[in-house]
Chains A and B, each alone.
Chain A
Amino acid sequence: MNDTYINIKNKISNANTWQEKYREIMLLGKTLPQLSNELKIDSALVDGCESKVWLHLEFKIGLQENTLFINANSDTRIVKGLLCIIINLYSDLTPSEILSINPEKEFEDMSLLKHLSPSRGNGIKAILSVIHNKATAQK
C-alpha cells in the first residue's frame, strides 16, 4: 500500500470524534479531480446508489503486469471522500495485488464498516466488487 493511502488511513483512524472523521472524509472528497462531462455517462453509473457514482476502471499496460487506473466521482461529499480512499487504496496495483487486499478489513480499521452495508445505498460495496471482479478477469 502506498504512503498516501497509509496517511489517509492514519488520519481517519485517529480522528477523535465522528465529526472529525467525517470532516476528514469530506476534505478528502474535495481533492478528488472533477470528472469531465463525457465521463459522467449513465453507462458508468454504479447500480444501487441513492447518490450517483460514476466509475471508470482501466488496466494500463505495464512492464510486466498491467496496473489499475481509476477515474471516479460522485454527487455527494461523503461518497466522494470514500471514493478517494478507494482510489488511493487500489490505484497502480496489479491484479494480484488488488486481490490480496481485504477491503472489509481496511474499512473496519477506519471504523467505516457500516458504509459497506448494502442498505446504505451508497454503492461502496458494489464499487469494491466491480474492482475485484475486474482484477480477477485480468489475471
Chain B
Amino acid sequence: MCNIDILRHDFPILNKIVNDQPLIYLDSGATSQKPQCVIDSLNHFYTNSNSNVHRGIHTLGDQATTSYENTREKVAQFINAVPKEIVWTKGATESLNILAYGLSQSLKPRDIILISALEHHANIVPWQQVCAQTGAILKVIPLDETLQKITLSETFKLIDIYKPKIISLSHASNALGNIQPVKEIIEYSKKYQSITIIDGAQAFMHLRPDMKNLDCDFYVFSAHKALGPTGLGCLYGKYEVLNTLPVYQTGGEMIKTVSFEETIFSEAPSKFEAGTPNIAGVIAFGSAIDYLDKINFNAQLIYEKALFLSLRNQLENISGIKLYGDLDQNIGTISFNYKNEHPFDIATLLDQYGIAVRVGNHCTQPLMSSLNIEGTVRVSLAFYNTKTEIEVFIKHLKQCLSLLD
C-alpha cells in the first residue's frame, strides 16, 4: 500500500489530541473517519453547486444531477454492478427495511427466513416484524461455540431442511469481525431459489465485494462506514429482482405520472428514492470511492491483515484476556473481555489515554447471549491505523488492567 504515514495526513481527525494524548481511533466499526477530500467535497457542494437534482434545467441543477448520478456509476463500478442496480438509502438499516417490507408482500405463512447468529439488530428486527405480519418463521444458523463461527456443514443442513424463501446474512460481523462464508452459502441456496441478502455494512470497505462474483440478489451497506458521510447508504439489487420489489415510501421523484385517480411509478432505482435525496452526501461519497480506488486493494488487504495479526498476538499474550470470534477469517475487529472486569470500566480508562474503543453488546444481544456474556470491549481497525498505534494501545491497556487488578 502507499505509505501509510503519508496517507494518514489525509485524515485530519487523526491528528487530534484527546484527553491530552494523541487520539488512537480503534472504533472504525462504528463509523470510519473521513479523508479531507470527502470533507472538501461536502463543503464544495454547498459552496458552489447546491441545488436540487433531477429538477429544473438551470446550470447548477444540471451540475448537481451530473455529480449525483456520477457517484451512482462509481459505486456500481466499485462493486461490479450497473448503475440502475444502485438505490440510495439513508443507511444499511433503511436498505434492510426496504427489503423486508418489499419481500414481505409475497411471503406466506410458514415460509422460512434464515439469518445467522451473528447478525446486527438491523438484520434481525425487520425480519421479526415481517414474521409477525405474514406468519413467516425466522430461523437462525447457530454459532459453533468452539469455532466461534457458523459452519458451512450446519448451514447447508439447515438450508436443506428449511428451504428458506429468504436468506439474509452479514458478510462480516460487527461484534466479532468474522468474515462469513457468504459466497458458498449463496451458491448453495440456488438449489431452492432462495432470495439472498448480504449485509455488507462492515465488510464493504475491508473486502470490496464484487456483485458478479458473489451473485447475491441484494447487498446493503452504509457510506459512513466506508469513508463517506453519515445519512447515506446503498441498496444493491440484481435488476430483475430489484425492479419487481414493491416500494415502501412514495412521493415525489419516484413517479412517472400522477393523477388523482392513479399513479404510475418510475422504474428502479428511482422508484425507491422518493423525495429529495441526500445530494451532498452522495456527491461526497463519490469522493470517498475515488479515494478508495486510489488505494491498491491487494496492498490494503495485506496491510490490514498484518495489523490484525499484530493486535491479535499482543492481546493473546496478556494473561486474563479472552478473545472471541473467528480469529483467522476476520476484517480486523477483535472483541475481548478481561477476567470478570466490566468492559465499561476498561473503555472508560482507555479513553483517558485518548484511545477510542467500543463497549457493550454492539447491537447484537442475541449473539452475546449465545456467548453467555453481556458485552465485550471491541477494537475495530481500519487501514489508517498503524502498528505503532497498536503498540501504544497495548501498553496503555496493560496499565488500565493493572489499575483494575
Q: Is the CB of B348 within 8 A of A78?
A: yes
A129 interfacial contact with B, CB 8 Å:
no
CB contact list, B367-405 vs A, under 8 A:
375, 399, 403-404
Minimum Cβ distance to chain A for residue B121 (Å) = 16
B305 interfacial contact with A, CB 8 Å:
no
B192 interfacial contact with A, CB 8 Å:
no
Q: How far is the CA of A23 from the CA of B345 in the complex (A)?
A: 12
A 62-90 binary contact with B (CB < 8 Å = 1; else 0): 00000000000001111100000000000
Which residues of B lie under 8 Å from residue A50 when comparing CB positions? 344, 359-360, 375
A94 interfacial contact with B, CB 8 Å:
no
B 335-354 binary contact with A (CB < 8 Å = 1; else 0): 00000011011001100100
Q: How far is the CA of A77 from the CA of B340 in the complex (A)?
A: 11
Q: How far is the CA of A23 from the CA of B403 in the complex (A)?
A: 7
**Chain B binding surface, main DSSP class:** helix
Given A50-B359, A50-B360, the answer on whether A22 and B344 have CB atoms closer than 8 Å is: no
Which residues of A lie under 8 Å from residue B348 when comparing CB positions? 22, 78, 120
Minimum Cβ distance to chain A for residue B12 (Å) = 22
Which residues of A lie under 8 Å from residue B342 when comparing CB positions? 51, 75-77
Q: How far is the CA of A113 from the CA of B399 in the complex (A)?
A: 23
Q: When the two chains form the complex, which single residue of A18, A19, A77 contacts B345, counting CB atoms closer than 8 Å?
A: A77
Q: When the two chains form the complex, which single residue of B344, B359, B399, B403 contacts A26, counting CB atoms closer than 8 Å?
A: B403
- B: interface residue count bin: 10 to 19
CB contact list, B7-52 vs A, under 8 A:
19
**Chain A binding surface, main DSSP class:** helix
Given A76-B342, A77-B404, A78-B344, the answer on whether A22 and B349 have CB atoms closer than 8 Å is: yes
A 110-127 binary contact with B (CB < 8 Å = 1; else 0): 000000000011100000
Q: How far is the CA of A88 from the CA of B344 in the complex (A)?
A: 23
Q: How far is the CA of A19 from the CA of B341 in the complex (A)?
A: 17
Q: How far is the CA of A52 from the CA of B404 in the complex (A)?
A: 18
Minimum Cβ distance to chain A for residue B200 (Å) = 27
Q: Is the CB of B404 within 8 A of A26?
A: yes
Q: How far is the CA of A18 from the CA of B21 in the complex (A)?
A: 13
Q: How far is the CA of A75 from the CA of B342 in the complex (A)?
A: 7
Given A22-B349, A22-B352, the answer on whether A76 and B403 have CB atoms closer than 8 Å is: no
Minimum Cβ distance to chain A for residue B269 (Å) = 35
Which residues of B lie under 8 Å from residue A120 when comparing CB positions? 348
Q: Is the CB of A18 within 8 A of B352?
A: yes
Minimum Cβ distance to chain A for residue B264 (Å) = 46
Q: Is the CB of A22 within 8 A of B403?
A: yes
Which residues of A lie under 8 Å from residue B344 when comparing CB positions? 50-51, 76, 78-79, 121-122
In chain A, what residue has the closest Cβ to B340?
A75
Q: Is the CB of B345 within 8 A of A76?
A: yes
Q: How far is the CA of A79 from the CA of B403 in the complex (A)?
A: 15
User: Which of A26, A78, A122: most chain B Cβ within 10 A?
Assistant: A78
Q: How far is the CA of A122 from the CA of B342 in the complex (A)?
A: 12
In chain A, what residue has the closest Cβ to B353?
A18
Which residues of B lie under 8 Å from residue A79 when comparing CB positions? 344
Q: How far is the CA of A55 from the CA of B17 in the complex (A)?
A: 36
Minimum Cβ distance to chain B for residue A20 (Å) = 10
Q: How far is the CA of A120 from the CA of B345 in the complex (A)?
A: 11
Which residues of A lie under 8 Å from residue B359 when comparing CB positions? 50
Binding site for B on A (CB under 8 A): 18-19, 22-23, 26, 50-51, 75-79, 120-122
6 A-B interface contacts by CB (under 8 A): A18-B19, A26-B404, A50-B375, A77-B404, A79-B344, A121-B360
Q: Beyond the given A75-B342, A76-B345, A120-B348, could you list 15 further A-B residue pairs with CB under 8 A, ordered by the A residue number?
A: A19-B399, A19-B403, A22-B348, A22-B349, A22-B352, A22-B403, A26-B403, A26-B404, A50-B360, A51-B344, A76-B342, A78-B348, A79-B344, A121-B344, A122-B344
